Amino acid sequence: MCPNNYWQYFVWCSKFLPGKETFYTVGLAATCWAIWLARNRATFEKKQIKTPFEIVFSLCSFLLYWTGLQKGEAAGELRAGAEMIRNGMLQLMRLCDPAKQTIQT
């Protein structure tokens, strides 16, 4: 179910987000930009990525920032989507924390 290329990404989006075509490119841009910045921090600043959650929260911040570029209801929908992603990641972090503590002991 994971897209392997640009076109499969849009097919994936149309399956899971039908009728939200205006957000497909915004989501892809936010994802690529978040990965690019994490890569640059790791490469040039020698700040290693401690967890993939960093990238997802960066992605959410881009989506929230870019809500101002959306017109009408789209801004609220994009904000709600970014908040859903963020809340999902917070729940996942809570689930992963006990496992991480078990591994460290």
Q: Is the pLDDT of residue 46 over 60?
A: yes
Contact assessment for residue 72 and residue 91, using Cβ atoms and an 8 Å cutoff:
no
| Domain span including residue 59 | 25-104
Within-domain flag for 48: yes
Within-domain flag for 7: no
Question: Domains in the chain: how many in total?
Answer: 1
Within-domain flag for 10: no
Per-residue model confidence (pLDDT) at position 29 = 96
Within-domain flag for 16: no
What pLDDT digit, counting tens, does each position of 47-81 carry?
998 889 999 999 999 999 999 999 999 999 999 99
